[in-house]
Amino acid sequence: MSVTKRWGLAAAQEAVAANLPVVILESTVIAQGLPWPENLETDLDELARSYGAVLVCSGFKSILDMAATLEALETRGLAIVGHRTTELPAFTSVSSGLALEHRVDSPAEAASIVRAHRTLGLPGAVVLVNPVPAGLAVDRQLMESALETALRDAGRQGIGGKDLTPFLLESIREATAGQSLRANRALLVANARLAAQVAVALHQGDAGAPNTDRGR
């Protein structure tokens, strides 16, 4: 059983090399403001070759190109599975409006999919997307409005490239009165909890074991 204790795709690569891990991430991203394919984090190509890895994240940041990210991951053979959702989460917002083909409703079900993925020897990782807790989520319309304003301000100020993302994040934090930051913290805790539960279910090695998560 392996769950990484550090954030980021570099940590994920280290864990992948260690032993079929469960990896906790904030999100998986393709950034705005950079040309293709430089806007794609190169570690994703490595993760696409990572047999049996499990990435638990809250979908893609709202400031990013979510449709392009989803397409890039699916093209690379990564299985995108929603945890108690049929729509792709948008980081601090519950949903992006993008439909998902696969859903599970418990860590045990997620472990069953991962186990089958490994048994069949399928390439790539399983990306388990977990929405931010609804009570702390940023309203989707508020987030889209804040993003639109931030992008417009960035254009007027000539901000782009690697400087764009931190500018957008800070602008959105201010526009949401800190709600985006609180949601970020909440999703990190939720993802860590889910990753640990999936890791335990995998360690037990029995997809038919009683599932105590449903009553949580």
Q: Per residue, what are the HEC states of 40-106? A: ECCHHHHHHCCCCCEEEECECCCCCCHHHHHHHHHHCCCEEEEECCCECCECCECCCCCECCEEECC
Residues 37-67: tens digit of each pLDDT: 444 455 566 666 677 788 888 887 766 678 8
Instruction: Point out which residues pair with 59 in neighbouring strands.
Output: 90
Q: Percent of the chain beyond pLDDT 90?
A: 40
Q: Domains of the chain, with CATH numbers?
A: 9-134+185-208 (3.40.1790.10)
> What is the pTM assigned to this prediction?
0.78
